[in-house]
Amino acid sequence: MKIFTLKSTFISLVLIAALIYILPTFYSNFWPYKKINLGLDLQGGMHLVLEVQNEKAVETTLEKIIHELKIELRKKNIKHLGISLNADNNIRAKIKQEKNINDFNVLLEDEFNNLIINSTTKNGDTQTFVLNLSDKEIKNIKKMATEQALETIRNRIDEFGVSEPDIRIQGEKRILIQLPGIKDTKRAKDLIGRTARLNFQLVDENRNINFALNNTIPPGDEILYQIKENSENGKITKVPFLIKKRVLLDGSSLIDARVMIDSQFNEPYVGIEFDRKGAKLFERITGENIKKRLAIVLDKTVYSAPVIQDRIAGGKARITGNFTTEEARDLAIILRAGALPAPVKIIEERTVGPTLGADSIRMGIISMLTGGILVIFFMLIYYKGAGLIANFALIMNILLIGGGLAGFQATLTLPGIAGIILTIGMAVDANVIIFERIREELFSGKTPDASVKAGFERATLTILDANVTTLIATIVLFQYGTGPVKGFAITLGLGILASLFTALVLSKSVFNYFVSGKNISTLSI
């Protein structure tokens, strides 16, 4: 009989591949350097549930519409007495004189048809319009805000370097985040939850900041603060700035943000670069405002407000703020990932310590070994020599599952270990069906060779039926399950495929090697 056949070569390659992929889990320097990823419940980490304040996204959208509306009114020379946003997210516009009112209606119909006229009231020659977005439009904005927040957070976490994070939307405005192996939870929360809305706004130097602080803030201005920390005593001071509300340039034009070191002071700063459109706008802004102060505002905090000395071409700027290297790196990450469309609020937070995770691994391995050893002893006692083949197939089954987890970079969770234990039982069950069929053939008087062939042929369809239906259920669990359910589905699915391979291919090949074409009268089964 030929030892090296196409079938035996295929089996050997599969087992060698599984061994290669599982070895880095035990020997970290072994190629291809991909360990089995452990879930949050096994290696510890952080569990967060965020709520996206997507009402703010609607408010931001309406503010942009108001800004665009004012620009168009100015272009078309349509006079108005004020356009503002109410607390109930309605736009209130006051238009004077019949011609302006008619032109305003035409403008709404032609260029702002997403706005609905909720009501109008007339007082003399002045008409007040109350405008809002349709319920469908508002629902879509909120949905898009949650989805965009998910992608932004995912980008930030990917750059932060967390292995196998679990990030998904729950309901209409909640995002579930699981970060296995994370140690600096405070830094991770700051990175995830920061809105990171970057604006460039002029400092209003024509009005007195002290007067604004003690009396009334001038229209079109706002008071923002720069936070400074004394490096010697750690004392924090807030420096107020009177900032013009009009945003000249925002972070949507950013294409890059990198940590750089100031050659003069040897301090880190964040160098930013705009796209072509943003670079042209930045050049125009700096050219028109020489000797004025341009504030770099991030999340309503002034990071710096340098005096513009000359027109700045090339679309590059820097954000300074007495950063540590780590703070500068995190700021660069969130700027590259983009701003959140709306603020997020942490409504649930859990931290799983690595000690608890290590205990879970230990108890899971003990359970798996105990179950495996009991099954191995049963198969040896009850099926004798054939039981030895089944035990070999069982060990190869576990090897294939481990290799599959490492090769596909799937995550092993505590329910996943339960899936492996269940797979052990299912793998043995397939062998039991085959062995009982072989016994029946032997009792009917057939030779060992004929009995093995008939036993596998008669058992194959039964095993396939049972495993394929379970595999379909596993795929459904993987597709629609979350967290622990998905972890269970991954190992169970890999285990079913491994069981089919070891029972119907590997075990059959081993039996054929010992009995096919050989004149033996008995079979140890």
Tell me the per-residue pLDDT of 38-59, one tens digit each, with 9 for 90 and over: 777 777 788 899 999 999 999 9
Q: Which CATH number fits domain 57-137: 3.30.70, 3.10.20, 3.90.660, 1.10.287?
A: 3.30.70
The percent of residues above 70 in pLDDT, for the chain, comes to 96
Query: Sheet containing 126-133: which strands, arranged edge to edge?
Result: 82-85, 91-96, 126-133, 115-123
More confident position, 445 or 33:
445
- For residue 237, what is the enclosing H or E element? strand 236-244
DSSP-derived letter for residue 81 is: S
6-41+354-515 folds as Multidrug efflux transporter AcrB transmembrane fold (1.20.1640)
pLDDT in tens, 256-296: 999 999 888 788 999 999 999 999 999 999 999 999 999 99
Please choose, from the candidates 31, 44, 14, 43, the residue with its C-alpha nearest in 3D space to the C-alpha of residue 401: 14
In whole angstroms, give the CA distance from residue 374 to residue 372: 6
Locate the DSSP E strands across 101-235: 115-123, 126-133, 166-170, 174-180, 198-202, 221-229
Averaged pLDDT for residues 187-209: 90
pLDDT at 285: 94
More confident position, 417 or 200:
200
In whole angstroms, give the CA distance from residue 43 to residue 478: 22
Q: How confident is the model at residue 220 (pLDDT cuts 50, 70, 90)?
A: confident
pLDDT at 483: 66
In whole angstroms, give the CA distance from residue 436 to residue 224: 80
In whole angstroms, give the CA distance from residue 205 to residue 80: 28
Strand partners, 249: 200
Q: How confident is the model at residue 233 (pLDDT cuts 50, 70, 90)?
A: confident
In whole angstroms, give the CA distance from residue 161 to residue 182: 10
DSSP-derived letter for residue 515 is: H
DSSP-derived letter for residue 293 is: B
Contact by Cβ (8 Å): 53, 144: no
pLDDT at 355: 62
The percent of residues above 90 in pLDDT, for the chain, comes to 25
pTM equals: 0.69
pLDDT at 357: 63
Q: How confident is the model at residue 131 (pLDDT cuts 50, 70, 90)?
A: very high
pLDDT at 286: 93
CATH code linked to domain 194-350: 3.30.1360.200
In whole angstroms, give the CA distance from residue 51 to residue 472: 34
Distance spanning both ends of the chain, measured CA to CA: 23
pLDDT at 174: 93
Tokens of 162: 């967390």
Chain centroid offset of residue 495 CA: 27
Q: Which CA distances in Å does 25 have to 34, 44, 417?
A: 7, 17, 16
Res 382 pLDDT > 70: yes
Res 3 pLDDT > 60: no
| Residue-range domain boundaries for the chain | 6-41+354-515, 57-137, 194-350
pLDDT at 50: 93
More confident position, 395 or 162:
395
